[in-house]
Every structure is written in structure tokens, then in C-alpha cells.
Structure 1
Amino acid sequence: MLTKTDFIQYLSCPKSLWLKQRKPEVYPEGEFSEYAKKLAAEGYLVENYVRQLVQGWPDAEACSFQDVFETGEGLHARADMLRANEDGTVDIFEIKSSTSVKDSNPHNQLKDAAFQTIVAVKTGRKVRNIFIVHLNKDYVRNGEIDPAGLLTFADETTRVKGLLAETEQQITDALALLNEAAIDESSCRCLTLSRSHHCDSFGYFNPGIPKYSIYSLPRLSGRKLENFVSEGRFGLDQIELNEVTRLQRPIIQAHNVKNPFVDVADIENFISVLEYPLYFLDYETYASAIPIVDGTGPQEQLPFQFSLHVLHEHGGIDHFEYLADQPESPRQLVETLQGAIGATGSVVTWNKAFENTRNKEMANAFPNQRDFLLGLVDRTVDLMDVFKTGYVDIRFNGSTSIKKVLPVVVPDLSYEGMEIADGTAAMDGWNKMINEEDSEKRAQLRTALLAYCELDTLAMVRIFQFAQTLVRDR
């Protein structure tokens, strides 16, 4: 059987799909699967509002949901919505939780619709029009959700039909591959893709790739990656420093000398511009296809929590925190933060683009706090930058995520064993907390959320203090 989800996976990595179907016992379920589950769950939420809207259409009785098409050759498709036309044709509606039509891998919605169309035609349907139903990025909730304002019906008939011949050939190729009892399992085509685009089964098909490899180099250009692969150069010891960028060189140097790359002057430059007290700030946010708070839109990041550690010049530390107990605009969060942050002192974050974007969004939403929030933007520095060029350990494996840096430089502090241990889990945990009726379970989730966010900013304090020791002990 070849489903739409299978087909999209085939387009990303054919061998990965073959392994999933032919050798499920060794197939490693991973990020691809989890992301697909998230998209499916959000899609059903959006579909509920499509159903509400369609009930008011004059031809509502001609519309049906979740129609299944199956062919003798093993194709299986489930149309989100189908409309029967008076001339005997049907219109296909693909319902998505995105705020625009996605037309590139790994989540090509036009290919989704092309697959659906081909399977429908093979079962005897005549398809007239094809729509991608997605969320209106300009919609802002004000009271009850307005389905007509929330949804956009994009007529993609021309673009999808232009893909049918290509898609049909790809379907034929996919079925042929799945019918193969054995394939070359020595590699997969993800070799020429960056690490973030590797299939779940990359390690299975490419077991000879070193733990620290060319895929550890951030922002490696596609052409350069293809050249290294074609030459069989995967190990970092096979790459010359003059072949990579300034940001990539420290990773190779740290690997080759088997010691961290340290540029004390670079670290000192970062520290020298800081003004005490230092405010280590982290937000947790919730993004949903259907906005849950007035004044927000689809997939908009809603800050619901912050943790703030304040490091004074002579070493004293204070901690402040906020966690919303119900869906609400972040006005109270901002007011609480404003009461904790003084008029002077640097704001330290990890990946400042995220916090600063939230600050700018909240400045637009709350004019009375605009000066304060934009002032935070001006005062914010990014501690992550130190670990791009100032201190690079090969054990980071080319990442500057705090989850990679912390266990290396502050091994006594860890996220391991925490009930909530990453941002995605925090988003899910808050959603469960605000909907939980059992007071004991609700309190448990609240404690877990507070502990996680507090560790994020404490981790920044400890990492910063580690950086200070490098300057002091040089």
C-alpha cells in the first residue's frame, strides 16, 4: 500500500520508505514521524472549522469529509473534503494547518493534492477543481472563532494539474521500489543533504559516517557538501581549514587537536560590553493552529511563561518567574517582568532573535509597555554567540543549542530526568495544564513547567560563569 504520507516520505528519501515498509522491525521512528503526527492533529482541528463553515454553504449536502479512495495496485488516499458537482465531477479540498500553501519538500502540499487527485481519478472520479484550505495569516481572534475569517480557500487547480504527469511517474517509481525484495542498503540520497534534512533511517543506511563529520559543520553550502560526498571525504580530519568558513573552522580545529577551541579575546570582547546587573531571560511560548486568546492569530507564538535570573556584579543571584494559569494575553506577564527588570543592566538570552521577536510583538500589542519592551531589545545580548567563535568543543557536534553546550561545560547541571525537558514538551505541558480539571495533576504540571524554565536561565548563568573563568584563568 502507498498512502499520501508514504508518498511524501518517498519524495524525501525513497530508501527510507522502503525500509519502513519492508523492514519495519529495524526502522527507527524519529522526527519525521513526530512532525507528521503534529501536522495531522492540527489538521483535524482546522477541519472542524471547515465543517462549521461548509454547513452554511448552499451546496452543503454535496460536501463530504474523509472519503477514501483505493486502487487495485495499492494506492490509498483519504480526501479531507470532497464536493460533488452537478456535472458529475468532484472538487478536492486538502485541509492544512499552515498559514500559506507549502510547495517544497519535505511537506509539499501541492504534491499532496496531486497524489489525491491521481488516486481519485484511478477510482473513476473526474476531478474538476483542487483547493488547498489553509489558515489566514492575517486573521486575529476577537471572541468566538470566525471560520470564514480563519480560513482561506486557495484554488490551486492549475498548479496541481501541472504536476500530475510528474507525480504519476513518481508514484509508479515508488510502487516499483516497494515491490523490490531487496535494495542497495549501503547508502541513501540524504548523504548530500544537511543534517536537519536527513531521513530517520540515515544512520541505518550510512553506518560508516563518523560521529563528528562534515554534517557537524553548520551552514555548509550544498555545493561544498556535494563535493565532499563525491570525494568520499566525511571525516573532519579530511577537510582543510581553507575549504570552510570562519564559523566552521573552530569545529575542525577542536576535532583535530582533541581539545576545545578557545579564543579568549573573543570571549573577553563579549563580556566587556555587559552592564550589571545581568538579567538572564527565557520565554516559553505556545503556538497553535487555532488561536486560543483574543488578539492573536494562527500559529502565532503566545508567551505564557518567563524565568529571570538576576546576577549582580558581586555575585548575588535573584530569581523571578511567571506562569499563566489560563489562556490569556501576555499583558500580566509583561507587567510582572517590568517589575523585575531595572532600568539598567544587560539582558542575556540564548538565541536572542526569539526573545527579541516576542518583545517586539508584545510592544505592538501593549503600547503602554512599548518603551520598556523595545528597551529590552536594545539591551539584549546573545550568550550563544560565545559558543560559535569563542569556545567550541567537538562534543557540541556543531550545535550551539543550550542542550548541547550545558552538559559539556557544566556537567553537574542537567535536564535529564525532568518531567518537562524541552520547549516542545513545555508547550504540550502548558496546554495540558490549562485544560486539566484534576487539581493535583494541574499542580504537578505547573511545578514541572516552572522547574524547566528556571533551569533554562540558571543554565545560562552557570554557562556565563564558565566563560568568565576562561578569561580570568588565561
Structure 2
Amino acid sequence: MLSKTDFIQFLNCPKSLWLKTYKPDIYQEGEFSAFAQKLAKEGYQVERHVRQLVERWTDAAAYSFQSEFEFEDQLFARADMLRENEDGTIDIYEIKSSTSVKDSNPHNQLKDAAFQTIAATRAGRSVRKIFVVHLNKNYVRNGEIDPVELLIFADETIRVKGLLAETEQEIAAAIEFLKEAAIDERSCSCLNLSRSHHCDNFDHFNSRIPEYSIYSLPRLFGKKLENFVTEGRLRLDQIELEEVSRLQQPILQAHNVRNPYVDLADIENFIGKLSFPLYFLDYETFASAIPIVDGTFPHQQMPIQFSLHVLHENGQLDHHEHLADLPELPRPLVEAMENVIGDRGSVISWNKSFENKRNEEMAVAFPDKRDFLLNLVERTVDLMDVFKTGYVDIRFNGSTSIKKVLPVVVPDLSYEGMEIADGTAAMDGWNKMLNESDPGQRIRVRQALLEYCKLDTLAMVRIFQFVETLVSGSHVNQ
């Protein structure tokens, strides 16, 4: 029986769905599956507020939640909410945690609604209208959640009904495909997609592709990627330098010469702009579909923690940190930074756009801290930039993530074995800490959060010191 979740997976990668169905012991649950589960969890949070709102309506009895439709052991759908109309028709409501209606892969909400409509129709119901309920991006919490202001009921009847014929054909194709007892498992349709859009089981279906391939080239998509695939040129040694962009060329060069690509002038230019003391700064944030703190909006990335390593010109290294122990606007965090960050010296982050965006948001939230926060923005440089064009090792596999760079350039420092080892786990950990009734467990989770964030900035220090040795070593050799 084809469910809505299965159908959306089929649209993204048919063979991935087949593998999940016929070989569940081989199938890998990866980032796509984890993200789908996150969306479902957030959707239930939003549904609670939809229920509260509907209970106030004079026609509340006409509405029901999680109604199921089945058709001849072929289709199964569960409508988030539906309305029984006086004329015997129904209105279908898809409840989403997004702040707009998504109309493209990998999570096409209009296709979601079209599948629901077809399943309901085949089960004998007549669908009058189709709505997508989503969050209002302009809603700012002020006291108790106001579902009237929080929720937007988008009437998508015209767009969804315009997709029904196409969706019918796709459903038929999915049902027929799942009847196949065996398929060619040597490739999948994700070959024509960039690496960030690959299915969770890409490696299973494309095992002939080497570890370092055209998918190691960042921002490779569209016609250029399609041409390489059509021509069977998947290995990096099959690609000419002039065929790729300026940012892709260092990766190709590093692969072809079997040594890191190093542009000393680029690195020296980065270091030459720095002034001591150096403040290595990292935020951890918490975001939720439903704002948990007054003054915040849906999915706002609210800083809850910082780690700061301060490297002085004489080599002295200091560390400072802050972690919120309750849900609150991050004024205490800003004040803690004010106490330890002076008015001179460069602020170094990894992917500075993230930290700077948070500083700009906090400057709006706390006008009296505006000068301090915007001064941080002006002084912030991005250590990640060095690893785009200054130092590129093929072992980064086309990534500039600190998790990819660190084990290559500073192999003695690692995130392995940590209870919390990434930003998503940090969000979950902070939420768990807040709701933990056992004081001992609360302390344990708190310590894990501090250790993770501290390692982020220590990693930046050590990576920066590695970069310094590249320049000082070249001068010695001269």
C-alpha cells in the first residue's frame, strides 16, 4: 500500500523507495529520513495549536483530525484535518511547520495535498477545497501563543487540482514500480543531482563511483552535471580544469597532483588583515517551529550558548563560555560577551554569515547593545574562507565544513566519542536539559553542551595555527 510518505520518496528517488520496501536490512536511514522525521514532529506541534483554534469555531464539530483513507490495498493517506461540508463534500487541510507553502522537491507540499486528494477521492469522498496550513513568518510571540496570529490557512485548491492529473500518473508509476521483484541496483536517478540532494542510499546504488568524484565539486548542478553524467565522466581525472568554475578548480588540482592545493598569497592576505587579540567565537542556537520565548518568531535561531577562545599576541590562550539555563532572550549572553571581548582585535568565526546574522538580530532586539554587536559584525572574519581558495585538500571531499577540515589538518583533535557532536544534537541536548527533572542528568547534559561548543572554538584556534605554519614555513624555505 502506497502512503503519502512513500510517494514523496518515490518522487525524489524511486529506487530508494524500492530498496526500503524490498531490502529493509540494507536500506540506510540518513539525512533525508531524519529531516522528514523532524518535519513530522514539528507538524504535530503545529497541529496542537490548530486544534486549539478550531475548538473556538462555531462549526468545530464539522472538523476531524488524522482521518484515514484507503483504496483497494493500493493507497493509504491520513489527512491532518478535514471538514465535513453540508453538501456531503469534504475540505482537506495539510498542516505544516514551514512559514510558506513549499512547491518543489524534496518536500513538495502541493504534491502532498494532491496525493491526499486522490486517496480521498478513490475512497469515495468528493473534495471541495484543499488548504495548506502553515506558520506566519511575521508572528512574534507575546505571552501565550495566539493561534489566530500564528497560523495561515492558504487556500491551494486551484494549484493542487491543477496537479491531480500529473499526480495520478506518478502514483500509477509508483505502484507499478513497486511490483518489480528486482531492479537494476547499479545506479539511481540521483546521479543527475548535486550531492546535497542525493538519496540516503546513493552509495549503494552507485558503488562504482570513487570516493572523490565530480560530486566533490561544490555547486555542481544543472546542465553541466547532467553532461558529465551523460558522457560517463564521473572521475575527477576525466574533467579538464577549464571545464569547471574558479572555486571548483582548486579541488580538481589537489586531486590531480595528489597534494593539497596551496595559494600562499591568498593565505597571507587573510592573515595580514587580522589584529590581536584574536577572538575565536562560536554560537549554538535553538530554533523551534513554535516560538518558546516572547519576542521571537517561528524557526528563529536564538543564541543560547557561546564559546570564546582568545589568542593573545604573546601566545597566551584564554577561554570563556556562557550557556543559558532557562529559555530567555539572549541578553545575558550578550552581556557575558561584553565582559570578555575588548574593543580591539579580530573576531574569527567559521561560516561568519551565521554568527553575523545572529548579531544583527540581537542588535535589533537589544537597541542598547546595538553598537557593541554591530562592531562585532564589522570585525568578524571567516576562517572557512581560507579553505575555499587558499588551502584545499582532496580529503575535504569538496567540503569546507569544520568537521571535514579538522581531521585532515589537525588529526589529534576530534569530535569522535562526544555525547554531543553537532549543532542538531546541541539543540536537542539543550531542550533535554531544560526539561530534565534529575539534577545529575541535567548537569551531565550541560557539561556535554559546554564541551562541544568549547571544542568548536578550540578547533578554530588549532586550524588557524596550522594556517600560520604554512606561511611561516614558506618564509623559512625562502
Q: Structure 2 CA distance, aligned partners of 1:139 and 1:270?
A: 41
**What is the letter of the counterpart of residue 285 of structure 2?**
T
Query: CA shift at 1:74, angstroms?
Result: 1.6
Q: Partners in 1 of 2:221 and 2:99 — Cα distance?
A: 28
Matches of 1:11 and 1:154, distance apart in 2: 24
Structure 1 runs of 4+ with >6 Å offset: none
**Counterpart for residue 387 of structure 2:** 387
Partner of 2:239: 239
Work out whether residues 64 and 81 of structure 2, in 8 Å CA contact, stay in contact via their aligned partners in 1.
yes
Q: Which residue does the alignment assign to 1:364?
A: 364
Partner of 2:465: 465
Cα deviation for residue 344 of structure 1 reads: 0.6
Match of 1:400 in 2: 400
Contact 2:62–2:85 (CA<8 Å) still a contact in 1? yes
2:333 is aligned to 333
**Structure 1 unmatched ranges of 5 or more:** none
The 2-side partners of 1:219 and 1:186 are apart by 25
Counterpart of 2:8 in structure 1 is 8
Partner Cα separation in structure 2 for residue 66 and residue 307 of structure 1: 44
SS at match of 2:174: helix
Residue by residue over 1:220-264, the C-alpha shift from the partner in whole angstroms, topping out at 9 and shown as x without a partner, is 141111111111111111111111111111111111111111111
SS at match of 1:310: strand
C-alpha distance in 1 between matches for 2:268 and 2:48: 55
Residue in 1 aligned with 2:351?
351
Matched, 1:219 2:206: no
Deviation at 1:372, TM superposition (A): 0.6
Equivalent residue letter for 1:148: V
Structure 2: distance between partners of 1:251 and 1:257: 10
Q: Shift of residue 349 of structure 1?
A: 0.2
- Give distance in 2, aligned partners of 1:207 and 1:415: 28
Alignment of 1:162-173 (within 5 A): 162-173=162-173
- What letter matches 1:385 in structure 2? D
Q: What is the rounded CA distance, in whole Å, between the counterparts of 1:175 and 1:273 in structure 2?
A: 60
Q: Deviations over 1:244-298 (max 9, x none)?
A: 1111111111111111111111101000000110000000001100100000011
**Structure 1 residue 266 and structure 2 residue 285: aligned?**
no
Determine if contact 2:46/2:97 at 8 Å carries over to the other structure: yes
Which SS does the other structure have where 1:279 is aligned?
strand
- In the alignment, the residues of structure 1 paired with residue 326 and residue 212 of structure 2 have an alpha-carbon distance, to the nearest angstrom, of 44
Matches within 5 A, 1:117-128: 117-128=117-128
Instruction: Give the distance between the partners of 2:441 and 2:352, measured in 1 at CA.
Output: 33
Q: Percent identity?
A: 74
CA distance in 2, matches of 1:88, 1:225: 50
Q: Is the 8 A contact 2:193 2:221 kept in 1?
A: no
How many angstroms apart in 1 are the aligned matches of 2:350 and 2:332?
A: 23
- Which sections of structure 2, spanning at least 5 residues, go unmatched? none
User: SS of the residue aligned with 1:325?
Assistant: coil
Distance of 1:205 and 1:455 partners within structure 2: 36
Q: Secondary structure at the match of 1:144?
A: coil
After superposition, residues 19-168 of structure 1 pair within 5 angstroms as: 19-168=19-168
User: Could you tell me which residue of structure 2 aligns to residue 308 of structure 1?
Assistant: 308
Amino acid at match of 2:81: M
Which residue of structure 2 aligns with residue 295 of structure 1? 295
Q: TM-score, length-normalised on structure 2?
A: 0.98
Paired residue secondary structure (1:247): coil
- How far apart are the structure 2 equivalents of 1:263 and 1:129? 60
Question: What is the rounded CA distance, in whole Å, between the counterparts of 1:223 and 1:346 in structure 2?
Answer: 41
Structural RMSD (CA) = 0.7
- Aligned pairs (5 A) from 1:415-434: 415-434=415-434
Residue 73 of structure 1, CA deviation: 4.1
Q: Report Cα offsets for 1:1-23 as digits up to 9, x if no partner.
A: 11000000000011111111122
